[in-house]
Amino acid sequence: MSSINLKRLSQELGLSISSVSKALRDSYEISAETKKRVLEMAEKLNYQPNPFASSLRRKKSQSIAVVIPEIANNYFALAINGIQTVAQQKGYHVLTYLTHENSKDQDSTIKHLQGGRVDGVLISLCSDTANSQQLTDLQSAGFPVVFFDRIPDSPGCPTVSTDDFDGGFKATEQLIKTGCKKIAYLRVAGYLSTTENRMRGYLAALDRYNIPQNPKLIIECSNDDEQNQEIIKKALKMRGRPDGILSSVEKLAISTYYACGEINLKIPRDVKVISFSCLRTASLLSPSLSTITPPAFEIGKEAASLLFRMIEKKMFGNRVEKTVIKSVLIERNSSRK
Amino acid sequence: MSSINLKRLSQELGLSISSVSKALRDSYEISAETKKRVLEMAEKLNYQPNPFASSLRRKKSQSIAVVIPEIANNYFALAINGIQTVAQQKGYHVLTYLTHENSKDQDSTIKHLQGGRVDGVLISLCSDTANSQQLTDLQSAGFPVVFFDRIPDSPGCPTVSTDDFDGGFKATEQLIKTGCKKIAYLRVAGYLSTTENRMRGYLAALDRYNIPQNPKLIIECSNDDEQNQEIIKKALKMRGRPDGILSSVEKLAISTYYACGEINLKIPRDVKVISFSCLRTASLLSPSLSTITPPAFEIGKEAASLLFRMIEKKMFGNRVEKTVIKSVLIERNSSRK
DNA sequence: GAAAAAGATGAAAACGTTTTCGTAAACTAT
DNA sequence: ATAGTTTACGAAAACGTTTTCATCTTTTTC
């Protein structure tokens, strides 16, 4: 807390507060000579402007918020990395809020944010969201909000996401091509745009290859890893058990590996597995895991860039940008013949 | 940006600004009846106090900063999770800053933080820090700073870390017990308290078991994964190549796996591996990776708790707290006979 | 029933900036 | 020399709170 402020600085220099302020902001009203003196003194006294006074006066926080379900997750960690890269370069500060997949937490966070603490919000929705009134309020007030990854269905929102439908389709196709007939889809509890779209891709692929859809093969998991392992084990032991698994999120693939280990099913011999995942060690797993990898870092970067464009009002009229960045499918041993 | 403020609220209620402010802060000066009216109106108009005005006046930011080298890293992601848990519960906001292992970035971050944007700082030092003047300035100004994981050597700093020496010792011991005679230690470039202490544990274990220390087996890696893979490959091809590897950080273990794959060395047959790591999938790797796992989440939680104790001045005099939380060693196939 | 105490409210200063506006002094053009 | 313009600076208001202090009313006390 450097208690040295403009007043102190101006006294030291024998100038008025306003002149010093202008000098520091490089105003044309101040002579080059004076600016130099001011800069030097500021440096010497290690002057740091009070960000709150500045924000209060300018009605600009120089901060953005990132609201995500969790952070100990390869995807979100990478996305934040991308976001920070852009924000730090723009001289913006980044506030992170975790919702823990809890819409109550998400709503209260959004509500607090209305106070003006940030100039914009990047958000990936939590899974138990029905429809957040807070969020629509925020947006309709003209507040810059960009959704990434888990986005709302409503068309009026700026979003950055990946081609989930396509990913789900291609992953399923891949399983089909290696001979799978009974492909299970692992989805998480609640509603997620990603899970939903990936599933639509999965179903479309089944149709395309004339494989009958089977509701029993759409397996809803929870938010608890141990519970999921049980759910998956049960699915793998049922009559007409799946010979292929498409996991909509990384953690379910991991649970699948553990589940198979416990009931002595060999991947890929007994069941083939492919999963959406940003796991860096996918190729080192036993067996190596086939993945559809969303470009998390780029999505974060793109979402942040879009947000800053909105903040800086460099938007073309009211056009709502919807960016989609392709995922990449990498076939590895877990889904090979 | 709810443009409804105290003034507006007070007009609506026919009260003075000060009374409304006091009512909202539940002051004893205001009658219960009035408080109720105020609360109701605030709710109705969705009043959100301006955080900057409040911070400016109270000289309290209700925010803390987390300064870390990177975020796409299991350890730091977990630690932040712990930090957020505590902060969110305390009603504090969390600002994250990435230094990218760059002391310039770190210094400029610290410098900005002196403006009073936060009430305290949690920091894990970057690897190319010699000694940050900014940081010592900040501390000696009485500003609350807690170091976690990568901590300074100076005794005057509050820290939360794990028993790195012990971890290094036990990991090395484990390799020795499975018959390794030439154990390499993989360290990262620059200076890290963790790497250093783990190495001291490693060297102590060698001494304890009468294995001669060999400087050629202490291998300094870089910050670039591809480069590291080359470095490790080279080390594994040299005369008197290591038969055991202790990796001081997770990413070097991963590079080791790749390196072994490329030159056809089988883990653990040809070389045994153990690593410090928070990888959730350690047991699913091929082969499963033996790890010393620092309790990242707990370290984050503990560090944040300590910071809040400092912020709230609930410290006992000037005693500097140095918390150490034990890591746990899990033997898996990569280091078995 | 007067003095003292308690209760409830409001006016205004303060926090540290930024910005608008005013005004000297210096310069330019006629 | 005079009017106009430019240059460089300062005074003061404003941002939205919090807090101190004063004020007025009501209640208590002897």
First to last CA, chain B: 64
Residue A122 has pLDDT above 80, yes or no: yes
Specify the CATH number of the domain A59-162+296-325: 3.40.50.2300
pLDDT at B2: 57
- Asked whether the beta carbons of residue A1 and residue B88 sit closer than 8 angstroms, the reply is no
- Asked whether the beta carbons of residue A284 and residue B53 sit closer than 8 angstroms, the reply is no
pLDDT at A1: 47
A158 forms beta bridges with none
pLDDT at A36: 96
Q: Which long-range contacts (CB under 8 A, 24 or more apart) does B32-41 make?
A: B37/B13, B38/B9, B38/B13, B41/B9, B41/B12, B41/B13
The answer for A28, left when phi > 0, alpha when psi is -120 to 50, beta otherwise, is: alpha
What is the per-residue pLDDT across A295-329, written as a single tens digit (0 to 9) for each? 999 999 999 999 999 999 866 556 788 999 999 99
Give the three-class secondary structure for A95. Answer: strand
The mean pLDDT value of chain A amounts to 94
Percent of chain A with pLDDT over 90: 89
Q: Is A259 on the interface with B (CB under 8 A)?
A: no
CB A266 within 8 A of CB A275: no
CB A287 within 8 A of CB A267: yes
What would you measure as the largest C-alpha separation in chain A, in angstroms? 88
A154 or B333: whose pLDDT is higher?
A: B333
C-alpha closest to that of A98 among A124, A75, A125, A67: A67
Q: Which residues of A touch B77 (CB under 8 A)?
A: 71-73, 77
Q: For residue B18, give the nucleotide whose C1' atom is nearest its CA.
A: C10
What element of type H or E holds A122?
A: strand A120-123
Between CA B33 and CA B43 the distance in angstroms is 16
Backbone angles phi, psi at B135, to 5 degrees: -70, -45
Residues of chain A with CATH 3.40.50.2300: 59-162+296-325, 164-294+329-335
pLDDT at B314: 62
CATH topology for B164-294+329-335 is Rossmann fold (3.40.50)
Neighbour-count burial for B89-126, b at 16+ CB within 10 Å, e otherwise: ebebbbbbbbbbbbbebbbebbbbbbbbbbbbbbbbbb
B185 forms beta bridges with B218, B246
Q: For residue B32, give the nucleotide whose C1' atom is nearest its CA.
A: C8
pLDDT at B315: 63
A306 forms beta bridges with none
pLDDT at B128: 84
pLDDT at A215: 95
CATH class label, A6-49: mainly alpha
Residues of chain A with CATH 1.10.260: 6-49
Tell me A238's DSSP state. Answer: S
- Asked whether the beta carbons of residue B254 and residue A279 sit closer than 8 angstroms, the reply is no
Q: Which two tokens stand for residue B219?
A: 């291998």
What is the per-residue pLDDT across B149-191, written as a single tens digit (0 to 9) for each? 999 988 888 999 999 999 999 999 999 999 999 999 999 999 9
| C-alpha Rg value of chain A to the nearest Å | 26
Ranges of chain B whose pLDDT falls below 50: 1
34-73 on A, CB < 7 Å from strand C: 47, 49-50, 53-54, 56-58
Specify the CATH number of the domain B59-161+296-323: 3.40.50.2300
Contacts of A298 (CB under 8 A, 6+ apart): A82, A325
Handedness of CA A21, A23, A29, A31 (dihedral sign): positive
Q: What is the mean pLDDT of residues A120-148?
A: 88
Handedness of CA B168, B173, B174, B176 (dihedral sign): positive
pLDDT at B318: 66
Backbone angles phi, psi at B76, to 5 degrees: -70, -35
- Asked whether the beta carbons of residue B284 and residue A288 sit closer than 8 angstroms, the reply is no
Tell me A185's DSSP state. Answer: E
**C-alpha distance from B96 to closest chain A C-alpha (Å):** 6
Q: Is A140 on the interface with B (CB under 8 A)?
A: no
pLDDT at A237: 95
pLDDT at B134: 83
Backbone angles phi, psi at B4, to 5 degrees: -95, 125
First to last CA, chain A: 64
Q: What is the mean pLDDT of residues A131-155?
A: 89
**Percent helix / strand / coil, chain B, rounded to 5:** 45, 15, 40
